[in-house]
Amino acid sequence: MSAIQNASIGIVFGTDTGNTEDIAGRIASQLEQYGASANIVDIREADSDVFEQNDLLILGIPTWDFGGIQADWDDVEAMLNTLELSGKTLALYGLGDQFGYGDYFVDAMGWLYQRLKNSQAGFIGFWPVTGYDFEASEALTEDGKHFCGLAIDEDQQFDKTDGRVSAWVKQIVGEFNGLAEAAA
């Protein structure tokens, strides 16, 4: 049995239109292909216990307009800044519109990463920028070759979403299992 099958997994999302919640469901469905199950939680209903009680946290956030943070995530910023998640693993996904708001593509995912990078958690799931067409993003790694998580564009590249979700879940399952093997 792999580590992912024994892990407690929480998918926490914030949404206004339902798209980020829909992606949470798709991620959970893909995880089932690996014998894993996830508890999906709206950030409005999450407290620090949700973060502290899961081995793997998959966090989803959309970007609004000109780099705006989804309101429900913005409401929990103080909690995010104080979480201590030593021994936990985090993977992020973000939604944005790379053509309509190409200067701010998935900026909110970068905002979320910045708030959690000092939480002592390990991050997995960095995703290549290949196949996207945007001007700038706060979610880029220092070398500019990856996003800090999976970037989804349901406005312009909805036809690529299922393939990206499937490939990303395979990636994070492999990374999570690899971390567990290295720790054993």
Domain spans, the chain = 3-183
Q: DSSP secondary-structure letter at 91? A: E
Q: Under a CB-based contact definition with an 8 Å cutoff, are residues 58 and 9 in contact?
A: yes
Nearest to 164 by CA among 114, 124, 129, 113: 129
Phi, psi of 27 (to 5 degrees): -65, -45
Domain 3-183 adopts which CATH fold? Rossmann fold (3.40.50)
Question: pLDDT tens for residues 18-49?
Answer: 999 999 999 999 999 999 999 999 999 998 88
178, 107, 20, 143: CA torsion to nearest 10: -20
The whole-chain average pLDDT of the chain stands at 93
Question: pLDDT tens for residues 57-84?
Answer: 999 999 987 777 888 999 999 999 888 8
* Position 180, amino acid: A
How many other CB atoms sit within 10 Å of the CB of residue 13? 29
